[in-house]
A and B are shown apart, each in its own frame.
Chain A
Amino acid sequence: MARVTGLSVLTAYGRGPEALWDGLLSAAPAATPVTRFDTARHRAHAACTVPGDPDLFTELESLVGEACDQAGLSSARRARTPLVLAVHAGRDTAARAGRLSAACGLREVLTVHTGACAASATAVAEAAHLISVRTEERIVVAGGSFVDASMFAAFDSAGVLSAEGVARPFSAGRDGPVLGDGAAAVVLERDGSARPWAHVAGWGNASEAHHVCRPHAEGVGPAAAVAAALHRAGIGPDRIGYVNAHATATPAFDASEAAALVRALAPYGGRVPVSSTKALHGHCLEASGLVELAVCALAFHHGELPVNAGYLGPDGDCPLNLVLEHGQPPPADHALSLNTGFGGVSAVLLLAGP
């Protein structure tokens, strides 16, 4: 198993894991009216953003440095360590990835994952695999997505975003996500002296092959990815004490994901505690898997599950045991972090506590 020995994260709650945890405990969404660009022509007007208009790769350089410092990596060790990245695919992204790796003193970029909202989870899975089979001793995984005018306009035009600016995952009355800034970096190691935040015990990835941007009602894609992660880790669904769901508060996708969890975790699917923390930190797109890995690690660290905020009442299409109250400890020692993305891709990380 790969050990998570360094973890840094930036969300609208601020910089660092504890800022994220404080935000999660507050149960107050980080959404505010957008000031980074003009939203007057749009239907939605809120997002979870950090102050100003930061450059993603500049922030990633800082986050990689923080994660490496936390893991106690010397310059010599960094020079032997590759980078796996998860970001949106742009014109010059590959070149910027190479410069990021060099600026961080890392060996090289292995892969840049661009598979939509599943990109970060897929990146972590690649790193965990290469470490588990001893191809690499350690790998830095980083990813990020900052809300910009073009991204916001494209989501708004598609009618996807919550018009009221409140994401209500799995809830009656949900009307879509609120976008969020997110960036994070982790150090995964086979060995090491630092006490790990968590272990990556398994992972799964599956294509749903149903529709490029609509879910199968029974959630066959995410269910297959969860099953693959459990199989790889060699554990049953009784060992899962928490699911950090992808749930973006989109009516059809949340219902499909709920069906997937009920099916893949049977007979425990309706009992395993589930929350989608996107209601709080926003939907961080390509960064989702890393930000939500941090959420799971913090839940292990503090012995408490983050709540599913924004909840108005039950939806019969989402028969899950949602975490609605503070103070609930994880009932078992493993957690699933699930992400899905356009194209019908599902990616799952199965995390074990330290």
Chain B
Amino acid sequence: MNGGTGGAAVGLAVHAEARWPPPDDPGAPLPPVPRFEASAFAPLLVTVADRCLTARYGAPPVPPEAGRRIALVLAAARGDVVTQTAIDDAVAGHRPVPKELLFQNVPSTALGHVAVVWGLTGPLLATLCVGPADRAVFATAGRLVAAGDADLVLAVAADPTGDPADPGTAVARLLGPRPIPSRSL
């Protein structure tokens, strides 16, 4: 196998971090995300990812040479239950399914939105966690870095509620070795 450290365990440092709800403003409303209006699932992930990347890089996008070496990883406790319920209800009620719900019902589209805005072209992995989400994202991020697939990983651990009135919680971290490889600064 070519590249990386051959998969040896990699100790990851946290280079930036953002949480929702924000610790200094726990009642803040979740910012809307265009084309993801049906559910708070994607806005939750996008918001923490944006804030984390902004803390490290300022405004988007990141330089292309850095974007190529940044992976995106999601570990969520569940899927987008609100969007799935909206589809199920439309079908049960013999109503047309709003066409944007097709892509909104897939967790990878939220990561894809972040990738488009920030120019991230490394690996993209959307997963559900069976145990703690933090453990899952650190394990996956460590694997990608050890394999040489990425220098940094934007890792989002999320516990979306499935309640339309409550988006749930999420934390996004930019993970990687310390120091960050110069091509990804």
Binding site for B on A (CB under 8 A): 41, 88-94, 97-98, 108-109, 111-116, 118-119, 122, 126, 129-130, 132-135, 149-150, 153-160, 202, 205-213, 220-221, 224, 228, 231-232, 234, 341-345
Contact A342 B108 (CB under 8 A): yes
Contact B108 A114 (CB under 8 A): yes
Interface centre among B96, B101, B147 (most CB of A within 10 A): B147
With A132-B7, A207-B112, A343-B111 known as contacts, the answer to whether A115 contacts B124 (CB < 8 A) is: yes
Q: Which 7 A-B pairs have the closest CB atoms?
A: A133-B7, A343-B112, A89-B79, A343-B108, A205-B123, A112-B128, A207-B124
Closest to A228 in B: B149
- Interface positions, chain B 1-52, Cβ under 8 Å from A, are 1-3, 6-8, 35
Q: Which listed segment binds A: B85-93, B165-173, B176-184?
A: B85-93
Interface size class, chain B: 35 or more
Contact A111 B127 (CB under 8 A): yes
Q: Chain B interface secondary structure, helix, strand, loop or mixed?
A: mixed
Give the chain B neighbours of A212 by CB distance below 8 A. 35, 103, 109, 112-113, 116
For residue B115, CB closer than 8 A to chain A, the reply is yes
Contact A159 B78 (CB under 8 A): no
11 pairs of residues in contact across A and B, judged by CB atoms under 8 Å = A91-B78, A114-B108, A122-B125, A126-B143, A133-B8, A133-B146, A157-B101, A157-B102, A158-B103, A213-B103, A343-B109
Q: Give the distance in Å from the alpha carbon of A118 to the alpha carbon of B8 in the complex.
A: 26
Compute the total of residue contacts between A and B using a CB distance below 8 Å. 190
A312, chain B: closest CB distance, angstroms: 27
Q: From the candidates A41, A154, A159, name the one contacting B87 in the complex (CB within 8 A).
A: A154
Q: Give the distance in Å from the alpha carbon of A129 to the alpha carbon of B122 in the complex.
A: 17
A136, chain B: closest CB distance, angstroms: 11
Q: Chain A interface secondary structure, helix, strand, loop or mixed?
A: mixed
Q: Give the distance in Å from the alpha carbon of A122 to the alpha carbon of B110 in the complex.
A: 17
Closest to B148 in A: A232
Binding site for A on B (CB under 8 A): 1-3, 6-8, 35, 67, 72, 76-81, 84, 87-88, 90-91, 94, 96-99, 101-103, 105-113, 115-116, 118-130, 136, 140, 143, 146-147, 149, 162
Contact B102 A154 (CB under 8 A): yes
Q: From the candidates A113, A132, A205, name the one contacting B127 in the complex (CB within 8 A).
A: A113
Q: From the candidates B81, B99, B120, B127, name the one contacting A157 in the complex (CB within 8 A).
A: B99
Give the chain A neighbours of B76 by CB distance below 8 A. 89, 114
Q: From the candidates A98, A133, A342, A343, name the one contacting B130 in the complex (CB within 8 A).
A: A98
Interface centre among B76, B91, B96, B123 (most CB of A within 10 A): B123
Give the chain B neighbours of A118 by CB distance below 8 A. 108
Contact A115 B78 (CB under 8 A): no
With A126-B143, A211-B116 known as contacts, the answer to whether A114 contacts B107 (CB < 8 A) is: yes
Contact A209 B121 (CB under 8 A): yes
Closest to A135 in B: B7
Closest to B68 in A: A224
Give the chain B neighbours of A344 by CB distance below 8 A. 112, 115-116, 124
Q: Give the distance in Å from the alpha carbon of A159 to the alpha carbon of B103 in the complex.
A: 13
Q: From the candidates A91, A129, A345, name the one contacting B124 in the complex (CB within 8 A).
A: A345
Give the chain A neighbours of B78 by CB distance below 8 A. 89-94
Give the chain B neighbours of A88 by CB distance below 8 A. 79
Give the chain A neighbours of B98 by CB distance below 8 A. 157
Give the chain A neighbours of B136 by CB distance below 8 A. 111
Contact B6 A133 (CB under 8 A): yes
